[in-house]
Every structure is written in structure tokens, then in C-alpha cells.
């Protein structure tokens, strides 16, 4: 029996146009970029964004040599690929990989920098996910994680007025609708430590995520004020969004040069040198499963028949 946790499936979703484009979220987008730039090393060899969706943040990664945009949704990754001409940077190779974050198709110790923004709320099994991330993290690197904070001011107010039955102060995650979780900052810190990461800086982000404010105050002012307040995350965390930067576990080895993908089912390294052909199949020498590459999209969601 397959005991992989359930996945929130965005295949075929209109996430980009329904949630972002023209939807009045320029404030959220900009303050998240400010936080990301503060926490992420600006340049390096290998970076992965876990749950990259349609590549909203991909232009932030142009200081890296190899950038993996990883997501469960092939259709969103195709949208990310369509942006490639605008993303193009002479020294950056973008690699589009479909797969499940509970079965990461990469060799151990591969990534200098790992970024995860607006996705942890879909993780039913955070320890299992972080275990995978600890495995593919290169010692000496950094993991920038954004998560939805259950201990935010609005939740505290609603709880005090008895409009909400779950406590924002209780450590365990709350699933407010199916496969959508809010997390307590202390609980996240614990999970990071248990997986071997060393949590460091914390930023509180999106202080002004309120429709009336966003209508009344120019966006630039709100972004400026949020940027000033983000550092208060080191003392208290009351905003809906929290960014953390953790040092990678020191244990483990860095990936050998030239090794990149591994079979998501059995973990055996796959012999494939990047950049490879646009259309091919990768065969696992141990379990013999085959994985497809179609028009530049590496697909590790399901093996080929």
C-alpha cells in the first residue's frame, strides 16, 4: 500500500489569473520579494524552489547557475516555462521538474539554497517533507521557508471574540479547510530542528494585508512600512506570513559534480548530464522504472508505462 501523504493537486488550475494577475495582490508579492532578498544568498551554484507554481518568483534567482523550479503541477510548470524568454539570464540554467515533495527526485547534498513560499500550508506531513529537504540540502547552504502563521492578529481577535473555535496559541497545525494548514512559529522551529536544520533569522511579513488599507494607502507606502517592520519577527510573530532562514544540516555529503537526479522510488542516482535532450527518458539502473522528459519538462510524478 502507498502511504505517501495526500497532495493538494493544482493540475490544470487557474492559480495565476485567479489569485495573482490583476487581483490586487501587488502588495503581498512585493513584500514577499523584500523578505526573500533579505534571507536568500543572492548568488550560488544550485537553487531549488519547492512548489514554484507558475514561477512567480523565478526572476529572483538569476544569480544562480542552476535553478530548479519544482512543482506537482505540470500545467503550472508549463506556464513557468512560457516565461523563460523574459527570465533569460546568460549564466542561469532553469530546470523544470514535476514531482512530489515527499519523493524528491534528486541526489543527496545537491542544493546550496532551497526556497519554499506559500506552499507549506498544503503539507499534511511536514516532518516527512523536511526529511526529504534535509537529504537534498548541501551542507553549508540555506533553506528559506515562508509559512502561514496561525498566531496572527486576526486569528487572535477572532478567538478572543469567540468567532473561531481553534486557539491561535496552541502549537499544533490547524487544518482550516481540506489540505490547508496554518502553523505556529514555535512548532515550525521544532520541526526544522528535528530535521537537522538550524533555524536563524525570522521576518514577519504582510503586516497590512487588509483590503481597506490596500485601497486607501498607496502601495509603495505599505511596502515601505512593511519592509521596516519585518525585522520585528525576531521578537514577535503576529503577521499572517512568516519567513525563516535556516542553515542546512552539517551532516551528510555534498553531491558529486555531474550527479543530479535520483529515482524518486528507490533513490538510485540516474545517469543524466545537464543540459540534456528536450525529449528523452531516464531509466533507473536499479528498479528499472523510466521517467519522461517532454519538451524540457522532467516528469517524476509517475513512471512511464
Ligand X SMILES: C[S@@+](CC[C@H](N)C(=O)[O-])C[C@H]1O[C@@H](n2cnc3c(N)ncnc32)[C@H](O)[C@@H]1O
Residues that bind ligand X (CB under 6 A): 7-8, 10, 15, 51-53, 56, 71-73, 76, 100-101, 117-119, 122
DSSP character string of 173-191 = -EEEETTEEEB-HHHHHHH
The three three-digit cell numbers of residue 139, written as one number: 551542507
Tell me the residue number closest to ligand X, measured at CB: 53
**Nearest approach, Cβ of 280 to ligand X (angstroms)?**
22
Beta bridge partners of 50: 70
Q: Dihedral (C-alpha) 186, 189, 195, 201: value to the nearest 10 degrees?
A: 180
Closest CA to 95 of 141, 44, 49: 49
Q: Are 291 and 305 in contact (CB under 8 A)?
A: no
Locus of grid cell 534528486: 106
Of the two residues 76 and 202, which places its CB atom closer to ligand X in the complex? Answer: 76
Alpha-helical segments (H) within 121-255: 126-136, 153-160, 185-194, 211-216, 219-229
Pairing of strands 93-98, 297-299: parallel
**Nearest approach, Cβ of 260 to ligand X (angstroms)?**
18
Rounded distance between C-alpha atoms, residue 139 and residue 142, angstroms: 9
Pairing of strands 280-283, 290-294: antiparallel
Of the two residues 119 and 230, which places its CB atom closer to ligand X in the complex? Answer: 119
Q: How many residues does the chain have?
A: 305
Rounded distance between C-alpha atoms, residue 139 and residue 149, angstroms: 28
Q: Is 213 left (phi over 0), alpha (psi -120 to 50) or beta?
A: alpha
DSSP 8-state secondary structure symbol assigned to residue 234: G
Amino acid at each position: 500500500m502507498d502511504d505517501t501523504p495526500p497532495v493538494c493537486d493544482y493540475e490544470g488550475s487557474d492559480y495565476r489569473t485567479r489569485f495573482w494577475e490583476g487581483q490586487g495582490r501587488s502588495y503581498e508579492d512585493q513584500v514577499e520579494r523584500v523578505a526573500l532578498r533579505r534571507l536568500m544568498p543572492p548568488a550560488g551554484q544550485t537553487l531549488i524552489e519547492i512548489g514554484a507554481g507558475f514561477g512567480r518568483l523565478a526572476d529572483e534567482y538569476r544569480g544562480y547557475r542552476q535553478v530548479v523550479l519544482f512543482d506537482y503541477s505540470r500545467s503550472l510548470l508549463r506556464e513557468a516555462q512560457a516565461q523563460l524568454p523574459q527570465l533569460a539570464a546568460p549564466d542561469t540554467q532553469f530546470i523544470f521538474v514535476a514531482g512530489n515533495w515527499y519523493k524528491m527526485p534528486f541526489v543527496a547534498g545537491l542544493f546550496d539554497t532551497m526556497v519554499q513560499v506559500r506552499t507549506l500550508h498544503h503539507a499534511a506531513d511536514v516532518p516527512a517533507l523536511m526529511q526529504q529537504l534535509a537529504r537534498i540540502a548541501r551542507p553549508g547552504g540555506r533553506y528559506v521557508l515562508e509559512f502561514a502563521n496561525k498566531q496572527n492578529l486576526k486569528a487572535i481577535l477572532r478567538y478572543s471574540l469567540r468567532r473561531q473555535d481553534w486557539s491561535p496559541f496552541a502549537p499544533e497545525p490547524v487544518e482550516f479547510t481540506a489540505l490547508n494548514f496554518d502553523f505556529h512559529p514555535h512548532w515550525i522551529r521544532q520541526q526544522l530542528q528535528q530535521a537537522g536544520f538550524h533555524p536563524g533569522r525570522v521576518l514577519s511579513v504582510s503586516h497590512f494585508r487588509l483590503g481597506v488599507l490596500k485601497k486607501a494607502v498607496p502601495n509603495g507606502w505599505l511596502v515601505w512600512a512593511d519592509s521596516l517592520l519585518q525585522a520585528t519577527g525576531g521578537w514577535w510573530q503576529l503577521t499572517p506570513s512568516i519567513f525563516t532562514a535556516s542553515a542546512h544540516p552539517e551532516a551528510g555529503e555534498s553531491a558529486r559534480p555531474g550527479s543530479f537526479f535520483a529515482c524518486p522510488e528507490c533513490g538510485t542516482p540516474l545517469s543524466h548530464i545537464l543540459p540534456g535532450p528536450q525529449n528523452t527518458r531516464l531509466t533507473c539502473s536499479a528498479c528499472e522504472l523510466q521517467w519522461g522528459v517532454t519538451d524540457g519538462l522532467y516528469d517524476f510524478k509517475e513512471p512511464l508505462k
